[in-house]
Amino acid sequence: MKTGIKILATLFALGLGSQVAAKTCEMSIDSTDQMTFDKKEMTVAADCKEVKLTLTHSGKLAANVMGHNWVLSTTDNMQAIAQDGMQAGLDNEYLKPGDDRVIAATDIIGGGESTSITIDVSKLEKGGDYTFFCSFPGHYALMKGKFIVN
Ligand code: ZN
């Protein structure tokens, strides 16, 4: 069954190659008062030119108590970004200003809020080792997942 879908997808891509290459893809992820994301893994197709990512927070707690953001980096850089972010504070969205290890990041939001960013997929390598996480102090241990470029 999966092979059949793949063949169909390939045929589709061959026929509509130029349109597929320019497409904008959308992804969403929810966060909670329990310090969790609702996804452990997110996959983006490498033929998406951009991804519009929306982070929601379905909890009730305020941003200074249980704030969440969505930060994308290589897996190697995650811990250092989170540690520097802790010292940067909420005023800086818990990220060191100008940190070029950060590939993409949303603002910190509190319960009931949502925020969106657009990610330039050309910055990402197909098959690269990427992780998404929350840089609010202490959260990345639980709030992280694998970001796959397929
Ligand atoms: Zn968080």
CA of residue 51 to ligand 1 center, whole Å: 21
pTM equals 0.85
CA of residue 135 to ligand 1 center, whole Å: 6
CA of residue 19 to ligand 1 center, whole Å: 36
CATH match for 22-149 among 3.40.50.920, 1.10.40.60, 2.60.40.420, 1.10.10.10 = 2.60.40.420
pLDDT tens for the 150 residues of the chain, in order: 555 556 555 545 554 544 444 578 999 999 999 999 999 999 999 889 999 999 999 999 999 999 999 999 999 999 999 999 999 999 999 999 999 999 999 999 999 999 999 999 988 999 999 999 999 999 999 999 999 999
Question: Which residues have CB less than 5 Å away from ligand 1 (the ion)?
Answer: 68, 134, 136, 139, 143
DSSP class of residue 37 equals B
Ranges of H-type helices in the chain: 2-15, 17-21, 63-66, 78-88
